[in-house]
């Protein structure tokens, strides 16, 4: 029983990281019909920015306030990836509207460059981020230990999710975004600046990947390939959950995250990968477009 709860807990924590990376992917895919292969590299950048922030604090601040570096790192990582995402959208993605497959390849070129840049700047060896001291340890309830940093990650993701929900469904901008997603031409006719909506949405998605990078930094060492290890799962979550609905992404990532942790726990990480793949393939037999689809009568989307 205790083991089950522990596995469940780890599953939720992995799911939440996958969720944070796949929200951006799913929204941009639903909105602009582009797939961003460099999304994993935004996660990597976020993780490295946490490291950078830590180094800055170690160098310039007294010992007593050093622990709050992490709270500075989160907005910093978000800001950096937000700006990079905005630049990427402006110069690359915006030329690739509707060319799904081309967008995937062009952004792969970008991800090659970003990975190499990370290797040039930070070296090929992985770097470690020391978790702030208040995140060490955990609480024990009835024999189950919940480590603080995983709890913190789950909390952070929940907060981000809430903010995204607020933006998407309660703000004026979100209304515009959903309008563009459902019918771009009509939205443009109504005076919505769809270029601006695209750019901001893409940047927010990238920024969320940056925050995901912050949480990944707590869990292990960071190197230039850290993004790759999460991104395949995130892609699967997007395929499973369908595009354009927040709920689809949440359910998709929960299924992928828990499935891989559970099978990993009872068998091995190899089998886990195969089983996750199998789940997605079987699932796509039933619903080729994913769980949630925005209904449309047009033929060629």
Partner 1 sequence: MKLIKKQGDNICFSVIVLILAAMPLMLNAGMLSGSSTVLFLGKCIAFAVVAIGLDLIWGYTGILSLGHGLYFALGGYCMAMYLKLQQTNGQITDFMHIGGIETLPLVWRPFKYLPLTIILIVAVPSLVAFLVGYFMFKKRVKGVYFSIISQALTWAAYSIFIALSPYTNGNVGITEIKTVFGSIKGDANRANMFTLFYVSLAILVLVYALAKFLVSRKFGKLLVAIRDGENRTYFSGYNVSSYKTFIYVLSAAIAGIAGAVFVNFNGSITPSQMTIAYSITMVIWVAIGGRGTIIGAVIGAFLINLCEYNLSSGSMVEIWQYIIGAVFCITILFFKGGIVGIVRDQLPAFIGRLKNKKAVPAKEAAK
Helix axis angle, 39-60 relative to 100-122, nearest 10°?
30
Minimum CB distance to partner 1 smaller for 172 or for 298: 298
Residue 145 interacting with partner 1 (CB under 8 A) = no
Alpha helices in the chain (DSSP H): 2-32, 39-60, 69-91, 100-122, 148-165, 172-182, 184-189, 194-219, 226-241, 246-266, 269-286
Q: Does 166 bind partner 1 (CB under 8 A)?
A: no
Contact assessment for residue 230 and residue 21, using Cβ atoms and an 8 Å cutoff: yes
- Which of 112, 166, 186, 190 lies at the binding interface for partner 1 (CB under 8 A)? 112
Taking CB under 8 A as the rule, does residue 109 contact partner 1? yes
Closer Cβ to partner 1, 3 or 268, answer by number: 268
For the bound state, the minimum distance from the C-beta of residue 199 to partner 1, rounded and expressed in Å, comes to 17
- Residue in 8, 87, 232, 294 binding partner 1, rule: CB under 8 A: 232
Q: What angle do CA 21, 145, 129 make, to 5 degrees?
A: 50
Total residues interacting with partner 1, rule: CB under 8 A: 43
Least separation in angstroms between CB 237 and partner 1:
10
CA dihedral sign, ordered 154, 159, 160, 162: positive
Please tell me whether residue 118 binds partner 1 under the rule CB under 8 A: no
Distance, in Å, from the CA atom of 56 to the CA atom of 59, rounded to the nearest integer, reads 5
- Give the one residue of 4, 105, 139, 158 binding partner 1; rule: CB under 8 A: 105
Binding site for partner 1 (CB under 8 A): 29, 35, 92, 95-96, 100-102, 104-113, 115-117, 119-120, 228, 232, 235-236, 238-239, 268-270, 273-274, 276-277, 280-281, 284-285, 288, 299-300
């Amino acid at each position: 029983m205790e083991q089950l709860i522990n596995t469940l807990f780890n599953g939720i924590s992995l799911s939440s990281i996958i969720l944070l990376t796949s929200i951006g992917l799913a929204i941009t895919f639903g909105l602009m019909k582009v797939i961003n292969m460099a999304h994993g590299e935004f996660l990597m950048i976020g993780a490295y920015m946490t490291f950078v922030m830590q180094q800055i604090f170690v160098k310039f601040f007294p010992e007593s306030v050093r622990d709050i570096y992490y709270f500075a790192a989160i907005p910093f990582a978000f800001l950096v990836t937000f700006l990079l995402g905005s630049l990427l959208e402006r110069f690359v993605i915006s030329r690739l509207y509707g060319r799904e497959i081309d967008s995937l390849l062009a952004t792969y070129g970008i991800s090659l460059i970003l990975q190499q840049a990370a290797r040039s700047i930070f070296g090929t060896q992985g770097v470690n981020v020391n978790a702030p001291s208040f995140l060490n340890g955990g609480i024990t309830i009835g024999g189950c230990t919940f480590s603080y940093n995983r709890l913190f990650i789950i909390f952070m993701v929940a907060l981000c999710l809430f903010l995204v929900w607020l933006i998407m469904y309660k703000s004026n901008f979100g209304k515009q975004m959903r309008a563009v997603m459902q019918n771009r031409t009509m939205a443009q006719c109504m005076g919505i600046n769809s270029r601006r909506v695209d750019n901001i949405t893409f940047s927010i998605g990238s920024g969320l990947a940056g925050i995901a990078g912050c949480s990944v930094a707590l869990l292990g060492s960071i190197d230039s390939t850290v993004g790759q290890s999460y991104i395949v799962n995130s892609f699967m979550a997007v395929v499973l959950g369908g595009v354009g609905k927040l709920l689809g992404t949440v359910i998709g990532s929960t299924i992928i995250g828990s499935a891989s942790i559970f099978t990993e726990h009872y068998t091995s990480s190899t089998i886990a990968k195969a089983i996750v793949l199998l789940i997605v393939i079987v699932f796509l037999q039933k619903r080729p477009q994913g769980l949630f689809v925005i209904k449309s009568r047009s033929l060629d989307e």
